[in-house]
Amino acid sequence: MRVRLYLDEDVDIALAAALRQRGIDVLTTLEAGNSQQKDDGQLAFATRSGRALFTHNRSDFARLHTALMESGDSHAGIILSDQLPLRILLRRLSRLCFSLTQEEMGNRLEFLGSWR
């Protein structure tokens, strides 16, 4: 199964529409009714939903990943990126989503800068 995304609330919702036009399954925090939820709650929701979480909140989610791995817990994947122009985010996320499966994203921390 192709990577399914959950976009954190700090990600421009225009990215969701652009990804959907490319056939990528995307859910936003707003659509899920999870606005204002804490980071660990966002990641837990994404994991329960079988979606890799995409965020610009690099430091907090990198720490969450490390804590989960150290405790033996799991997640459905975390993708971190600097704030970049929409066209660059779209190109890199598309490349990632069409290259990996959702299963391969499990417990994986990906930096979008690696998907140029």
Locate 45 and state its tokens: 């929701």
Q: How would residue 51 be classed by pLDDT, with cut points 50, 70 and 90? A: very high
Do the strands 52-55 and 5-7 form a parallel or antiparallel pair, or are they unpaired? parallel
In angstroms, the CA 116 to CA 106 distance is 21
Q: How far apart are CA 116 and CA 105, in angstroms?
A: 18
What is the pLDDT, as a whole number, of residue 63?
97
**Considering just the CA atoms, what is the radius of gyration of the chain in Å?**
13
Q: What per-residue confidence (pLDDT) applies to 22?
A: 97
DSSP reduced 3-state for 20: helix
d(CA 6, CA 103): 15
Angle, helix 13-21 to helix 86-99, in steps of 10 degrees = 50
Q: pLDDT band at 105, cuts 50/70/90?
A: very high
State the pTM of this model: 0.97
Q: What is the residue extent of each domain of the chain?
A: 5-114
pLDDT band at 60 (very low <50, low <70, confident <90, very high): very high
Q: Phi, psi at residue 27, to the nearest 5°?
A: -130, 135
Average of per-residue pLDDT across 45-53: 98
- Could you say which architecture CATH assigns to the domain 5-114? 3-Layer(aba) Sandwich (3.40)
What does the mean pLDDT of the chain come to?
97
Tell me, what's the pLDDT at 72?
98
Average pLDDT over residues 14-28: 98
Q: What is the pLDDT of residue 52?
A: 98
